């Protein structure tokens, strides 16, 4: 049984309360985690607030902050195998994915490290001849960064990176489901040399942890990734501190396929888009909207590929799909798939737990052929390896189906017709539109959603601005005495 600690004010400490974490591939308890109490959260926020005001951090040059982020990137690169193993153990995400993704996370810290001293204000051509006016960009303050268990090191990087580059301090809350990688990541923060209190890492439950953090009067900014229901609680909590808030939420991403494509190539992209990470990704391409002329052929190829996916031990580099992270998620997917079939969907493949891997949360890659858009699996986010397929005849119909969702995070379009591809990028209401590719990411490119997929953007050069406030500085340049305002002239 491994024991993990929380990290507050530069000190690793045991939690006064703890909980067990379970390996999704075996359902066995393997680690004990600290559950932050309200008192722990208060200490973490106060530590971040004090560090924000301390000259050690407040007077540190932007270039030096950038060097700290680059140093952190170097440590992530050196420790990728260790972090990847922890994430695989605690979340069930396969080792070939965690290794690749965590290795690339370092690039985000390098990017934001380089951006730290590129943030600048402006000199305004004011309409008053005896005034000089400049704008300063100053850090917003203490940031509450809250991430889910899936892709947690990446989702932390797009919050922690710009926050630190801007000069903020951070309380990073890991999900209580699979927090091991982020609690371990705190050791790299410590080794990189960040001043005490600048970055704090905790995890915990409900009102004690989450509500206390997001409603805390010393928190000036909340950056959250998770589900819409939790986001609504956070928005209500933020009424207590009027913290600026960004929300990166769920998705029900459409992938539109026209009949002029290379079907084999598209099938590979669709399989990667929905079955990678066992479908546990907010940008998973879970709605396949395919032109009727090629629907049967594409479905046949997808079923062949889905049934050949190698499912098993997530620590094995040969494994292509691992377990779901929680038994709760497994039960939710089973319920929605059964509901969808009762509504008229045809089960093409999968639709049940793995027949032999009975100890873990394994669910077979599943494809549902849906006769209409009001099938449960088309409307609800499942966060699992379930692809819902629906046919269309015209481009206008494809657009209507793609946009018929409360969500709007990501989307994909596959077509050989370049002009049609351009039309589709304008028509689809989503924060990301991939054309003839899917799930490509880069620290240079922002991402975020429409509708119930949230508000705000993460990544890219402009994201650092969301961690700053603008200060207007007026300087009178005239040497003449200021006239008496009460003397008539």
In eight-state DSSP terms, residue 483 is P
CA angle 95, 98, 100 (to 5 degrees): 105
Rounded Cα distance between 422 and 420, Å, is 5
Element containing residue 230 per DSSP (H, E): helix 228-237
Rounded Cα distance between 231 and 213, Å, is 13
The answer for 387, left when phi > 0, alpha when psi is -120 to 50, beta otherwise, is beta
Concerning whether 248 is annotated as a catalytic residue, the answer is: yes
Of 235, 256, 233, 258, whose CA–CA distance to 245 is shortest? 235
The answer for 60, left when phi > 0, alpha when psi is -120 to 50, beta otherwise, is beta
Rounded Cα distance between 283 and 250, Å, is 8
Of 15, 70, 73, whose CA–CA distance to 41 is shortest? 15
Q: Which three-class secondary structure state does DSSP give residue 371?
A: coil
Tokens 């153990």 belong to which residue? 89
Residue 74: count of CB within 10 angstroms of its CB: 14
Rounded Cα distance between 384 and 363, Å, is 8
Rounded Cα distance between 391 and 268, Å, is 19
Does residue 452 contact residue 275 with C-beta atoms inside 8 Å? no
Tell how far CA 377 is from the center of its chain.
Answer: 22
Of 362, 406, 401, 408, whose CA–CA distance to 385 is shortest? 362
Tokens 């006239």 belong to which residue? 483
Rounded Cα distance between 205 and 406, Å, is 28
Provide the β-strand partners of residue 311. Answer: 321
Tell how far CA 6 is from the center of its chain.
Answer: 22
Element containing residue 303 per DSSP (H, E): helix 292-307
Q: Decide: residue 183, CB within 10 A, 0-12 exposed, 13-18 middle, 19+ buried.
A: buried
Strand spans (E) along 269-349: 287-291, 346-349
Element containing residue 90 per DSSP (H, E): helix 80-91
Q: Which three-class secondary structure state does DSSP give residue 56?
A: helix
Q: Which of the following is catalytic: 176, 177, 248, 458?
A: 248
Does residue 141 contact residue 52 with C-beta atoms inside 8 Å? yes
Catalytic residues: 248
């Amino acid at each position: 049984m491994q024991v993990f600690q929380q990290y507050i004010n530069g000190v690793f400490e045991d939690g006064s309360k703890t909980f067990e974490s379970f390996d999704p591939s075996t359902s066995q308890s393997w680690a004990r985690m600290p559950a932050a109490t309200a008192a722990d959260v208060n200490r973490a926020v106060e530590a971040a607030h004090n560090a924000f005001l301390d000259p050690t951090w407040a007077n540190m040059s932007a270039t030096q902050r950038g060097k700290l982020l680059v140093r952190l990137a170097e440590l992530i690169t050196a420790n990728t195998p260790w972090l990847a193993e922890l994430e695989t153990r605690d979340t069930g995400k396969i080792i070939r994915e965690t290794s690749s993704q965590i290795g690339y996370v370092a690039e985000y810290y390098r990017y934001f490290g380089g951006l730290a001293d590129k943030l600048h204000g402006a000199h305004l051509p004011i309409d008053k001849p005896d005034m000089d006016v400049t704008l300063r960009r100053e850090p917003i303050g203490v940031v509450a960064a809250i991430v889910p268990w899936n892709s947690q090191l990446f989702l932390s990087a797009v919050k922690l990176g710009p926050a630190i580059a801007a000069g903020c301090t951070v309380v990073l809350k890991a999900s209580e489901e699979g927090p091991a990688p982020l609690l371990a990541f705190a050791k790299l923060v410590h080794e990189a040399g960040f001043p005490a209190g600048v970055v704090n890492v905790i995890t915990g439950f409900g009102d004690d942890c989450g509500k206390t953090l997001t409603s805390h009067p010393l928190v000036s900014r909340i950056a959250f990734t998770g589900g819409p229901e939790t986001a609504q609680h956070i928005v209500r909590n933020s009424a207590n501190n009027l913290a600026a808030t960004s929300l990166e939420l769920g998705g029900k991403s459409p992938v539109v396929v026209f009949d002029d494509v290379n079907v084999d190539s598209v099938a590979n992209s669709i399989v990667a888009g929905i079955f990678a990470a066992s479908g546990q990704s907010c940008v998973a391409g879970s709605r396949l909207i395919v032109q009727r002329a090629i629907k049967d052929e594409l479905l046949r190829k997808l079923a062949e590929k889905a049934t050949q996916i190698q499912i098993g031990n997530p620590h094995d580099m040969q494994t292509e799909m691992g377990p779901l992270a929680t038994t709760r998620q497994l039960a939710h997917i089973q319920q929605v798939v059964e509901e969808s079939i009762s509504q008229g969907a045809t089960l093409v493949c999968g639709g049940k737990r793995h027949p032999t891997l009975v100890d873990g949360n394994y669910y077979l890659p599943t494809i549902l052929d849906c006769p209409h858009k009001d099938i449960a699996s088309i409307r609800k986010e499942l966060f699992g390896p379930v692809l819902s397929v629906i046919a269309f005849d015209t481009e206008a119909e494809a657009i209507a189906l793609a946009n018929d969702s409360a969500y709007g995070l990501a989307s994909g379009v596959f077509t050989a017709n370049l002009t049609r591809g351009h039309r589709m990028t304008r028509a689809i209401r989503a924060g990301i539109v991939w054309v003839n590719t899917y799930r490509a990411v880069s620290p240079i490119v922002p991402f975020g959603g429409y509708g119930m997929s949230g508000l705000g953007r993460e990544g890219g050069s402009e994201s650092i601005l969301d961690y700053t406030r603008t200060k207007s500085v007026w300087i009178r340049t005239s040497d003449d005495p200021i006239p008496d305002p009460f003397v008539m002239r």
